[in-house]
Amino acid sequence: VVVNHVEMDHTGALPEVMEVAKPEKLFCSPKGKENLLKHFHRDDWPYEVVKTGDRLSLGGRTVTFIETRMLHWPDSMFSYLMEDRLLISQDAFGQHWATSGRFDDEVDRGELMQQAAKYYANILLPYSNLVQKLLGDLGEMGLEPEIIAPDHGLSWRKDPGMILEAYGRWSQQRAKPKVVVVYDTMWHSTERMAQAIAEGLAREGVEYLVMDLKVSHRSDVVTELLEAKALLVGSPTFNNGMLPTVADFLHYLKGLRPRGKIGAAFGSYGWSGESVKLINAELEAMKVDLVDEGISVKFAPSGDDLKRCRELGQRVGRTVKETL
Ligand SMILES: Cc1cc2nc3c(=O)[nH]c(=O)nc-3n(C[C@H](O)[C@H](O)[C@H](O)COP(=O)(O)O)c2cc1C
C-alpha cells in the first residue's frame, strides 16, 4: 500500500484497506509516517519510509517516489510508474469535479481548465513558490509523464503538458488585463457604485466581472481572481465595520496569499463610514497595491458620486492595460 497523502479524504478507509489487504509494507514519506501515526495511532503497521528518488520494483513495474512537501500537506508525495510514464500526483493537478468523464479528452476542455484553476486558486495558491520549484525538479529528474492521474477529478492523458503549463503560469501568479469587482450591499447603494465602476471598466475595454457575494461563493471569486490584475472591493458600513460576507471573503483571500494585484475599495455608509478604510487595511495587509484612497458615499450615490465611480473604473482599466 502506498500512501501519497495522509488527509482523511485519501486515508479515511486505510484501516479497512490494511485489514483486508494485509500488505507486507505501507510506503509513505517521513512526514507521512508521523502524520499517519497521529491520525490512526497504529504503530503495528509495516511502515516503509521513502524519500525523493527512492525506487520500488514491483517486478514488471518500477515506482519512483517524489516528496512534494507542503503541496499541500507536509506528508504529500508523488508516485511515478516509470515504464508507463504515469504520474500519480495525489492532490496536485486535480479538480473538485464529479463527472461521468474520467479523462481530459472525455469532457469540455474549457470547463476542465476552469475546474483545475478553481482547485489551484483555492488550495495551492499559497504554495506557489513550491509549485514552481517542483515543476523545475520534475524537469531535472527527466520525468515526462504521459498520464497525470490526480486523486480528485479527471486524469490528463491527451495533453498532460497543458496542465503542467497552466501550473507554471498560475504559480508565477501571472495576470492578464482582467478586473474583478466584488461587493455586498443591503439597500443597493454599494451595488450601484459597483455597476458604475463596471461601466468605467467597460469603457476601457478590459475584461471584468462583477460579483455579488450574496450569490457568488468565495471560492468562485478567488478562481476569477487567479489571473486578474485588479480587485475592487465594496461594502457598506455595518455596525462600524464591513458586511460579514465581505470580511469573510477578505479573510479567505488573505490566507491564499495572492501576489501582484492592484486594487481599491468603495462603499456606502450612513454616519460613521468605516468600511472603506477597513477594506483598504485588509487589501494592504495582503500586499495589494492601492491605486486610490477609495470611494465612500453617504447613503445613496448622487450623479456626481457615480461619475467618480465610473472614473475609478476607467483609471483601474487603464492602469491594468498599462502594467501588462
Ligand atoms: C444594521 C445596520 C447597521 C448599520 N451600521 C452603520 C454604521 O455603523 N455606520 C454607518 O456609517 N452606517 C451604518 N449603517 C448604514 C448603512 O451603511 C447605509 O444604510 C448604507 O447606505 C447602506 O449601503 P447599501 O445600500 O450598499 O447597503 C447601518 C445600516 C444597517 C441596516
Q: pLDDT digit string (tens) for 65-101? A: 999 999 999 999 999 999 999 999 999 999 999 999 9
CA–centroid distance, 301 to ligand 1, in Å, is: 13
Given ligand 1 and candidates 193, 197, 239, which is best to mutate, with the most ligand atoms within 8 Å of its CB? 239
For residue 269 and ligand 1, the question of a CB distance below 6 A is answered with: yes
Q: Is 183 in the pocket of ligand 1 (CB under 6 A)?
A: no
| Per-residue pLDDT band at 142 (split at 50, 70, 90) | confident
- Reply yes or no on whether the pLDDT at 103 is more than 90: yes
**Euclidean distance between the first and final Cα of the chain, in Å?**
48
Give the pLDDT score at 94. 97
Residue nearest to atom 19 of ligand 1 (CA): 270
Ligand 1: nearest atom to the Cα of 183: 26
**Residue 236 exposure: Cα atoms within 13 Å on the Cβ side:** 20
Closest residue by Cα to residue 117 from 166, 156, 72, 68: 166
Cα 37 from chain centroid? Answer: 29
Between 160-171 and 128-140, two packed helices, what is the crossing angle to 10 degrees? 140
The answer to whether the CB of 244 is under 6 A from ligand 1 is no
Ligand 1 atom at shortest distance from the alpha carbon of 272: 11
Residue 272 Cβ contacting ligand 1 at under 6 Å: yes
**Helix crossing, 14-21 with 30-40: angle to 10°?**
100
Does ipTM come in above 0.90? yes
In order of their start, the domains of the chain are: 8-170 (3.60.15.10), 179-317 (3.40.50.360)
- Please tell me the residue having the least CA distance from ligand 1 atom 21: 299
- Rounded mean pLDDT, 140-144: 89
What is the model's pLDDT at position 323?
87
Distance 243 CA to ligand 1 centre (A): 9
Mean pLDDT score of the chain, rounded to an integer?
A: 97
pLDDT over threshold 90, residue 173? yes
For residue 133, give the amino acid letter.
Answer: K
Nearest to 182, CA basis, from 162, 197, 167: 197
Ligand 1 binding pocket includes 187 (Cβ within 6 Å): yes
- Convert the pLDDT of each residue in 192-218 to its tens digit: 999 999 999 999 999 999 999 999 999
Q: How confident is the model at residue 324 (pLDDT cuts 50, 70, 90)?
A: confident
DSSP E strands in the chain: the ranges are 26-28, 47-49, 55-57, 62-67, 77-81, 86-88, 147-149, 176-183, 207-212, 228-234, 237-238, 241-242, 262-269, 289-290, 295-298
CB of 205 closer than 6 angstroms to any ligand 1 atom: no
77 backbone dihedrals φ, ψ, rounded to 5°: -150, 165
Distances in Å between the Cα of 39 and the Cα atoms of 19, 33, 90 are: 16, 10, 18
pLDDT recorded at residue 184: 98
pLDDT tens figures, 226-265: 999 999 999 999 999 999 999 999 999 999 999 999 999 9
Cell of 267: 462603499
